[in-house]
Amino acid sequence: MTSELPRAVIFDLDGTLVDTAPDLVGALNDLLAVLDLPPVTLEQGRAASGRGGRSLIQVGHELAGIRLTEAEVDALYPRYLEHYAARVAVDSVVYPGVTALLDHLEAQGWRLGICTNKPLRFAESLMRSLGLRERFGVLLGADSLPVRKPDPRHLVETLTRLGVEPDRGILLGDTETDLKTARAVGIPVALTSFGYAPVPVATYAPDAVFHHYDEAPEMIERLWALGRAWAG
């Protein structure tokens, strides 16, 4: 049974809805090959994938014994994006259970959105390639607003564009950035154990940790009850 007022589940993208590390790291290796530097393994690049292309560039060079300045990273970043644009959805895969969860949430009347620090053009391209874009009423990327996560305005605007009051949302993510964003807005947050956080996500003390999307329907209802308790 749905509430009288709309409610929403907002998802992070990389490491939450989709395992994008294979393509993020693949783009890094394409760049490193052009620079005559050795490739990195998927595991070496996975944790950095959650922090974006600049972090991956730094990791790739550090593993080759090179320390880059911030200006040098910034200079390489557009070249990294060119490589990533060519392979946004080559090896990226939706996590098991996502589609079933979306079906369940839609049937329960939840509104669905994505709030990601991935550049919008890549987020849109990825979700359309995977056949999931139409499942989400709103998708805001890193450059959709002048601010991005963990600034709470990024998440609040996602909810607002869905027609949902900020205190009637739940955030599912995979990193400390997602936790900080939800805490700043004052809504419950659950983190995946299979995403790109550099440490076990329980370290961040989220309201819930989930290991597979099969756990998510019951978990989301618990988080909703928690959010209602906070709202008084």
* Separation CA 151–CA 161 (nearest Å): 17
Rounded distance between C-alpha atoms, residue 151 and residue 177, angstroms: 9
3-state secondary structure of 189: strand
> Among 12, 23, 178, 207, which one carries the catalytic annotation?
12
DSSP alpha helix (H) spans, 35-129: 42-49, 53-63, 70-85, 98-107, 120-129
Residue 28 has which token pair?
């890094």
d(CA 146, CA 193): 30
- In b/e form, how buried is each residue of 152-187, taking b as 16+ CB within 10 angstroms? bbbbbbbbeebebebebbbbbbbbbbbbbbbbbbeb
Calpha distance 108→140 (Å, rounded): 23
Q: Which of 15, 3, 42 is nearest to 174 (CA)?
A: 15
**Which conformational region is residue 205 in: left (phi greater than 0), alpha (psi within -120 to 50 degrees), or beta?**
left
Strand order across the 8-11 sheet: 138-140, 111-115, 8-11, 169-173, 189-192, 208-210
Residue 23 a catalytic site member:
no
User: Catalytic residue numbers?
Assistant: 12
